[in-house]
Structure 1
Amino acid sequence: MLGSLSLVSQLTAGCSSLPSSKTYTRVAENNELAKQLPIKRTCGFQKLLRHHISTSRFLVPQRVKQNFPISSVLTDDSSSMTRMEDETENIGILSTDQGLEPFKDHFKYRMKRYVDQKLLLEKHEGGLEEFAKGYLEFGFNREDGGIVYREWAPAAKEAQLIGDFNGWDGSNHKMERNEFGVWSISIPDSGGKPAIPHGSRVKFRFKHDGVFIDRIPAWIKYATVDSSRFGAPYDGVYWDPPPSERYEFKYPRPPKPKAPRIYEAHVGMSSSEPRVNSYREFADDVLPRIWANNYNTVQLMAVMEHSYYASFGYHVTNFFAASSRSGTPEDLKYLIDKAHSLGLRVLVDIVHSHASNNVTDGLNGFDVGQSSQESYFHTGDQGYHKLWDSRLFNYANWEVLRFLLSNLRWWIEEFKFDGFRFDGVTSMLYHHHGINMSFTGNYNEYFSEATDVDAVVYLMLANCLVHNIFPDATVIAEDVSGMPGLGSPVSMGGIGFDYRLAMAIPDRWIDYLKNKKDEEWSMKEISQSLTNRRYTEKCISYAESHDQAIVGDKTIAFLLMDQEMYTGMSSLTDASPTIERGITLHKMIHFITMALGGEGYLNFMGNEFGHPEWIDFPREGNEWSYEKCRRQWNLVDADHLRYKFMNAFGRAMNELDDKFPFLASTKQIVSSTNEEDKVIVFERGDLVFVFNFHPENTYEGYKVGCDLPGKYRVALDSDAWGFGGDGRGIT
């Protein structure tokens, strides 16, 4: 394979904007592709080089009217409300997918559970939004000239507050318990100053079975560890900086984009040096790179405190605390404000699917064998994820709902995050957590006794809350099962996410790169993999994320070029066939994934320029090395290396969508998947995309279908010199 070409053409007649290279795909119900319109017109290319792209239009099924709003009038009787029949009988999602009709009772049941829960919250807590202000009551708060600390620990027989402020002797700071198992203490100021100094260490001490146990407060807002002691546990830190040290946001949130172009990033591993990077360094050094590459959204991993760095941030120990490895909460606020100043929105990777099983410094430390209703977690096997070695929440518990919903509001209001990427949603949706399950698309797999309705209702409440307090929020679900309705509005009986990750796409590319020769690639199969998504449910497409970069796996660039990336990336010499093929396919795979695979796009930090090797966090197995837990920005900055070409093409892809918003367009047609020519043609928005995946053939006078008559010009050409191509000139 000597090279590949991706081409985007734009109709010039009556168009004053510059060309763009993305497309938007809509799919009919039941995960089947929408019918394709016949192409009656053609547009010709004098040359269509090997591995070249263009587009044609894809049929958009007619949108079904959504006339099923949820509204209620509360009365003293929580079982009665107006329009209950509309809310539980008229499930709008059934109208968009008739295949769901046999499961109408399931949707009615979970909708009733959702409505009933909201009514209970209205009656007892002042409503969902007030309920989610738990951080103003629990944990440490300033009240009436002092500090009030509250902790839910119904299993405790006695409780004390200890810390640096009292020499870790809680005998004078005993707490009182109320009827709901909430312990509290009020500590008045001393000499006009808080009795607990800002930045001092604190812990919750409680007695169970006659023994005192010390734990980090569940609602702690900052936690640190003594880095000089190997394996030292974390300590809770009382965080209430004086006005002179408190960060004040200066910039407004950017408006919600029509289509998110997401840069997935990990602050800690973003340094070019083998060490943990800081929030402020990321803000000053990495955010400008993201902005320059025309992304509009940053998705931050590993923000919630996690004691084990190598967990990639997914074994959370302290849910309200920003990871102290990279700095203080004020430093994180600086990062988010800096992003907003650049017009970048910031999402946080939220982990509510499970919690670290750490006892000393994690939420699991509050579980001392009590019943599930007195714990954050289920008991026994139901409360343990055997593959993740972590604890599982009891989503039916009132205080668990308060804790998790308040956690969402905390990150939005305190740190000005613009939304969430919910991790591990599949584990939440089913009692089997997706373990040893191969989802086939049969609807019985989604709606049965295996469905965890408690978790589904929590997610419905979560999405309702987030969009109520911040209507422009972006909320994304990571689900491998393909649960119907996950990305449908709660008002229609859905779970309410704005987007779902198109997780099957990277699996397809990895399968092709590992198991198929170039000539065995199926154009129809590629097209179907990219367009196989549910009608009305938006997807975020990606060719690779952090999951494909971790140790034991390989990035697309490394799968394509492997060891030659160490010796063959200099542009001062001719590229080997392996390097030429690798760079070419790297561009094409990412581009067609973006253009055809969803309504938004995601790229993991460094993959835009083909970062070599894999990610390996410091651990005992690698002698605690940071060598492969960093990003080698010097590679893309070096003018004599070919990494710059992949980076430039990624930047051009994003710019194309800026100028011609194809990701947000509902116009999409796949007009050709020619297996002999190895050509895929589709149209999205105002653009025609032509991808020539043939490893050898370059075509002269190649004609493709297009929707509108007129003259077309090349908007983006992957074979251009500036992208490391041969500059063979598409006309």
Structure 2
Amino acid sequence: GSSNPGLTQLQSISNRSVSVILCFVYKVEHGFATASVLKDSSTMVVVEEEIQHLGIFDVDPSLGQFKDHFVYRWNKYIEQKSLIEKYEGSLEEFALGYLKFGFNREPGGIVYREWAPAAQEAQLIGDFNGWDGSNHRMEKNEFGVWTIKIPDSGGEPSIPHNSRVKFRFKHGNGIWVDRVPAWIRYATVDPTRFAAAYDGVHWDPPPSERYEFKYPRPPKPSAPRIYEAHVGMSSSEPRVGTYREFADNVLPRIKANNYNTVQLMAIMEHSYYASFGYHVTNFFAVSSRSGTPEDLKYLIDKAHSLGLCVLMDVVHSHASNNVTDGLNGFDVGQSTQESYFHTGERGYHKLWDSRLFNYGNWEVLRFLLSNLRWWLDEFKFDGFRFDGVTSMLYHHHGINMAFSGTYGEYFSEATDVDAIVYMMLANYLIHSLLPDTTVVAEDVSGMPALCRPVYEGAVGFDYRLAMAIPDKWIDYLKNKTDDDWSMKEIVWSLTNRRYSEKCVAYAESHDQAIVGDKTITFLLMDKEMYSGMSDLQPASPIVERGIALHKMIHFITMALGGEGYLNFMGNEFGHPEWIDFPREGNDWSYDKCRRQWNLVDTDHLRYKYMNAFDRAMNLLDDKFSFLASTKQIVSSTNEEDKVIVFERGDLVFVFNFHPENTYEGYKVGCDLPGKYRVALDSDALDFGGHGRVGHDADHFTTPEGIPGVPESNFNNRPNSFKVLSPARTCVVYYRVEDEAETLDEEMTKEKEAAAATQVEIEEAAIQAVGVIVPMGISDEDELEGTGDSADDDQFLRRKQSCRCIC
């Protein structure tokens, strides 16, 4: 019944081609089934002719040498999916596990179920029974599922909303232990007790307290421009920010900068704050540090009202090692068949100190697939970023691996087929429930077919993160002088991706901002950021270089690095310093675990220039959709001039990385003949530049070479025009058509609207925190200017608007 043609094709292949010979054990009770993990002896016969229809071999014929691998994992996928459909009804119904497990209302009371086959006895305890479970013993069925029904009392639930609960059970050693329920939807910690463990909380608010969504999901953008954010560290104050504060204060900033997607980190509950949310303890619970489930719904609804899609950073690659308040607490030494995790060394990640899932286990599949559906259905997320995919793809988890791109590295005995089958099921499910979704894989290995549809025999992600790009920029900024930068190497790093699989490019994310590393801005300007960012005084050479390269690095990454773009919260305006979560080593300080929005809101600080350019970058894509264009042609990488020229869509990009040379009448190639004008100019006054490029100039093309003979053209382009290319600038040109004047007017109005929004943000910030004197500026400077009329005149000139259409 899906509207997705790919899903229809997959169903057709499944129905026509699969003949299954199964060895399994299944039993059904209470409307749900449990099957044993299939033994190696189980087989599947697939008609050879139908295997030829796996589209991945047409997309990349080189994969044909690994046909046996693809056939094997396709068979495993169809086998698992067929079992689920036969004994659970459908994959979609299977993923409704949260309606059976955990706490759910049924006629006359609350029913609680927990899968814990290793338990010998079990009780439900909590505030409702004084933490005495002797009268609330649970019953176990033959699948290891424990159940208890708590009848209502006087027509009211016996377990009050927002009251604490835990699962108490006795394991094989005769020891009783208390654990947070695996399917718990909210968990909190006693703030008065140091290092206290989390308690499960029964979350079932009355109708008057439930948040009701008001706005529909926005349409899927043709190319995601993602704003990666951490709600907890989004406050300007040294404390944990809340979901509602983020919705009211940060979302308008994201919208004003023309992003179309928000990616939220650290939503799943994690007891260790400094893990950045990646050591999840409670998979169905909203992180309680920032508020309640209803508060998160408010945030997502507010984002939708602004036309922003919301992705969730989901962590299914591993789980926290915590025992008392995490899923690991259910592992008491039983076999892997009765556990969420693998046993022995296979069940532990050596570098992350965390537990690894057994993706071949029926109940693990139910748990994880239901987890995805829970976040989509209950909170209206629009998609996911899957964390740690490389670790899932291989038994070696990518540890000590330097992937060279040789196909044999990806398809061998080192490949974890169970994990791949899980991701295929997950992507099929997500796209079936929400055809207009976006699912991004964090994979550093570059596995082929990761980001092609499942019906082709691929894994099914929509995008992968282009993780090698930030490493290249860090290498250049740390180890090379400007004269040593190679234009060819930069272009190769940005374009080295599989043409048939989409990438999200980024110059830096949260990874590059963690303590011990440096952001691009800090690598460029370092201590000058503390004293040299005042616009009331001339910029030092370090600051001028830093701002210029910050704009160029982020923009060329966006324009050439992928089919989507990502920026981490604060990097758009060059947020200084690193991120350091409160911990014992820094005396539990929040000082560097926040965002200093006052820096970009203060008009006489240069941070505003980087922020304005970031806004213009996104607006350019909003108007010309170059990220979604498949036309990407690099026509020149001139090492001597330090100039890169390329086309994306019908736009022509000219990047001059030379530290000193400005080129007048510089010839650039293009495809279409006609008249070109400036669309975006990093040297404009609005962006902290010198205003050297004339935005009113018309650039007329000249035909090159012999028509129909590309090798006779200029840089293999049939036309060319001449430009002014100042040192350390990037300028984008668009081809003028009949409606160009109207386009100019529309984009001018967009700029004015964005500026008005920024004023509202700044006024709100001032009302919230008062006037803040930013670092590097004295009270005297702030109130009186520099006192130098020439400098004040220069400041006024910089206030002039640029005249490019962005």
Tell me the TM-score normalised to structure 1 length. 0.90
Are the structure 2 counterparts of residues 692 and 74 from structure 1 closer, same or farther at C-alpha, using a change threshold of 3 Å? Answer: closer
Distance 2:663 2:15 in 1: 66
How many residue pairs were aligned? 667
1:646-695 residue CA offsets vs partner (Å, 9 max, x unmatched): 00000000000011110011111100000010000000112000000001
Distance 2:154 2:69 in 1: 60
Matched, 1:705 2:669: yes
- Segments of 4+ moved more than 6 angstroms: 65-68, 74-77, 80-83
Equivalent position SS for 1:117: helix
Matched, 1:668 2:638: no
Q: Quick check: 1:487–1:497 contact (8 Å CA) kept in 2? A: yes
- Structure 1 residue aligned with 2:86: 123
Equivalent position SS for 2:435: coil
Deviation at 1:66, TM superposition (A): 13
Distance 2:581 2:47 in 1: 52
Letter in 2 for 1:632: Q
Q: Quick check: 2:114–2:146 contact (8 Å CA) kept in 1? A: yes
Equivalent position SS for 1:273: coil
- Structure 2 residue aligned with 1:73: 15
Equivalent position SS for 1:431: coil
- Structure 1 residue aligned with 2:362: 398
Equivalent position SS for 1:647: helix
Deviation at 1:93, TM superposition (A): 1.2
Q: Which has the higher contact order (CA 8 A, sep 6+)?
A: 1
Q: Quick check: 1:74–1:119 contact (8 Å CA) kept in 2? A: no
- Structure 2 residue aligned with 1:724: 688
Q: Match for 1:640 among 600, 604, 623? A: 604
Are the structure 2 counterparts of residues 86 and 656 from structure 1 closer, same or farther at C-alpha, using a change threshold of 3 Å? Answer: farther
Distance 2:453 2:21 in 1: 24
- Structure 1 residue aligned with 2:66: 103
Q: Match for 2:438 among 461, 474, 485? A: 474
Q: Match for 2:54 among 91, 102, 113? A: 91
The 5 Å alignment of 1:354-369 reads 354-369=318-333
The Cα RMSD (Å) is: 1.6
Equivalent position SS for 1:185: strand
Distance 1:87 1:202 in 2: 52
Deviation at 1:90, TM superposition (A): 2.7
1:50-87 residue CA offsets vs partner (Å, 9 max, x unmatched): xxxxxxxxxxxxxxx99974523399974499985455
- Structure 1 residue aligned with 2:399: 435
Query: Structure 2 regions of 5+ residues with no counterpart?
Result: 1-5, 23-43, 698-806
Q: Match for 2:148 among 185, 188, 206? A: 185
Q: Quick check: 1:68–1:492 contact (8 Å CA) kept in 2? A: no
1:334-354 residue CA offsets vs partner (Å, 9 max, x unmatched): 000000000001000000000
- Structure 2 residue aligned with 1:370: 334
Deviation at 1:91, TM superposition (A): 2.3
Letter in 2 for 1:421: R
Equivalent position SS for 2:652: strand
Distance 2:485 2:17 in 1: 62
Distance 2:8 2:579 in 1: 48
Letter in 2 for 1:670: V
- Structure 2 residue aligned with 1:26: none
* Greater helix fraction, Structure 1 or Structure 2: 2
- Structure 1 residue aligned with 2:136: 173
1:383-412 residue CA offsets vs partner (Å, 9 max, x unmatched): 000100000000000000000000000000
Q: Match for 2:102 among 120, 131, 139? A: 139
- Structure 1 residue aligned with 2:26: none
Are the structure 2 counterparts of residues 519 and 70 from structure 1 closer, same or farther at C-alpha, using a change threshold of 3 Å? Answer: farther
- Structure 1 residue aligned with 2:777: none
- Structure 1 residue aligned with 2:802: none
Q: Match for 2:214 among 230, 235, 250? A: 250
The 5 Å alignment of 1:256-271 reads 256-271=220-235
Equivalent position SS for 1:355: coil
Are the structure 2 counterparts of residues 196 and 66 from structure 1 closer, same or farther at C-alpha, using a change threshold of 3 Å? Answer: closer
Q: Quick check: 1:89–1:108 contact (8 Å CA) kept in 2? A: no
Equivalent position SS for 2:591: coil
Are the structure 2 counterparts of residues 66 and 484 from structure 1 closer, same or farther at C-alpha, using a change threshold of 3 Å? Answer: farther
1:488-530 residue CA offsets vs partner (Å, 9 max, x unmatched): 1111111000000000100110100001110110101111111
- Structure 1 residue aligned with 2:727: none
Are the structure 2 counterparts of residues 289 and 67 from structure 1 closer, same or farther at C-alpha, using a change threshold of 3 Å? Answer: closer
1:580-625 residue CA offsets vs partner (Å, 9 max, x unmatched): 0000000000000000000000000000000000000000110100
Deviation at 1:211, TM superposition (A): 1.3
Distance 1:282 1:140 in 2: 30
Distance 1:462 1:232 in 2: 34
Distance 1:78 1:100 in 2: 26
Q: Quick check: 2:393–2:420 contact (8 Å CA) kept in 1? A: yes
Matched, 1:574 2:516: no
Q: Quick check: 2:431–2:437 contact (8 Å CA) kept in 1? A: yes
Distance 2:224 2:504 in 1: 8
The 5 Å alignment of 1:8-407 reads 69-71=10-12, 72-73=14-15, 78-79=20-21, 84-85=47-48, 87-208=50-171, 209-407=173-371
Equivalent position SS for 2:529: helix
Equivalent position SS for 2:110: strand
- Structure 1 residue aligned with 2:469: 505
The 5 Å alignment of 1:435-584 reads 435-584=399-548
Tell me the TM-score normalised to structure 2 length. 0.82
1:177-230 residue CA offsets vs partner (Å, 9 max, x unmatched): 011000000111100100100000000000012111100000000000011111
Equivalent position SS for 1:149: strand
Equivalent position SS for 1:235: strand
Distance 2:671 2:17 in 1: 56
Q: Quick check: 2:507–2:557 contact (8 Å CA) kept in 1? A: yes
Equivalent position SS for 1:244: helix
Deviation at 1:88, TM superposition (A): 3.2
- Structure 2 residue aligned with 1:42: none
Letter in 1 for 2:99: L
- Structure 2 residue aligned with 1:38: none
Deviation at 1:536, TM superposition (A): 1.2
Distance 2:72 2:15 in 1: 20
Deviation at 1:89, TM superposition (A): 3.6
Deviation at 1:274, TM superposition (A): 0.2
Q: Quick check: 1:68–1:92 contact (8 Å CA) kept in 2? A: no
Deviation at 1:364, TM superposition (A): 0.1
1:267-316 residue CA offsets vs partner (Å, 9 max, x unmatched): 00000000000000000000000000000000000000000000000000
Are the structure 2 counterparts of residues 118 and 69 from structure 1 closer, same or farther at C-alpha, using a change threshold of 3 Å? Answer: closer
Matched, 1:628 2:574: no
Equivalent position SS for 1:592: helix
Query: Structure 1 regions of 5+ residues with no counterpart?
Result: 1-64
Q: Quick check: 2:387–2:442 contact (8 Å CA) kept in 1? A: yes
Letter in 1 for 2:392: M
Equivalent position SS for 1:404: helix
Are the structure 2 counterparts of residues 652 and 475 from structure 1 closer, same or farther at C-alpha, using a change threshold of 3 Å? Answer: same
Q: Quick check: 2:17–2:50 contact (8 Å CA) kept in 1? A: no
Are the structure 2 counterparts of residues 178 and 82 from structure 1 closer, same or farther at C-alpha, using a change threshold of 3 Å? Answer: same
Deviation at 1:710, TM superposition (A): 0.5
Distance 1:325 1:483 in 2: 36
Are the structure 2 counterparts of residues 351 and 308 from structure 1 closer, same or farther at C-alpha, using a change threshold of 3 Å? Answer: same
- Structure 2 residue aligned with 1:41: none
Distance 2:689 2:469 in 1: 26
Distance 1:306 1:143 in 2: 30
